[in-house]
Amino acid sequence: MAAAAVAVVVAALVVAWRRRTFSWLAVCIVLLLLQPAWRLAWGEIINGSRAASSDCGFGNRGESIFLAATLGAVLVMLIRGDVSKRLFLLRLTVVCWIIHVLVFLLGISQGLSSFLFAVFSADVATQTLGTIEAGAGRISRYTIVLTVCCAFLYILERRRRRVQPSPVTGGIR
């Protein structure tokens, strides 16, 4: 997934270069740096030993898929050019909460595991279920940070509107 994330960032760089607007690139770079694959690479550099396996585990795999999908969404927003970063953050936060609720409800009802084991082989079903459940656990950090950021931006916007002079009276609202 890290290779896909790098490809998306390169595509975003090309689109930004053509439009001469680089504000979304900061978001892309941050999402690229959060990829779990870099943790494996830094572990090799710091410890001086190569990992026995390139499998980064269920949690890292789910987190990597989420970050790559988010980068894809940023690329779409960059191509469209008509969505603000604040609205994008709000939508991303809502999607994160929906993922958590769905994983929680499907975990309680055992509906997802029943479906996966009925349709796929036991190995594929186990891998998919582990990636979804552990990945949702890793996404919780991002969900909390995004929720706090959206709340902070909302408070700042409300404060700005309250302090802004009224066009009718010229005074503070």
Domain ranges of the chain: 1-83, 84-173
HSE of 132 in the Cβ direction (CA atoms, 13 Å)?
Answer: 18
Q: Mind listing the pLDDT tens digit for each residue in 15-64?
A: 888 888 777 777 788 878 877 777 766 666 666 666 555 556 777 777 77
Residue 124: in which H helix or E strand, if any?
helix 122-163
How far the first Cα of the chain sits from its last, in Å, is 50
Neighbours of 1 (CB within 10 A): 20
pLDDT score at 64: 79
Burial of residue 165 (number of CB atoms within 10 Å: 0-12, 13-18, 19+): exposed
CA–CA separation, 139 and 121 (whole Å): 27
CA distances 172 to 6, 12, 161, 162, 168, Å, are 48, 42, 9, 7, 10
Q: Mind listing the pLDDT tens digit for each residue in 101-132?
A: 887 787 776 777 788 888 888 888 888 887 77
Secondary structure of residue 165 in the 3-state scheme: strand
Reported confidence tier of residue 168, pLDDT bands at 50, 70, 90 = low
DSSP state of 172: B
The pLDDT of residue 170 is above 60: no
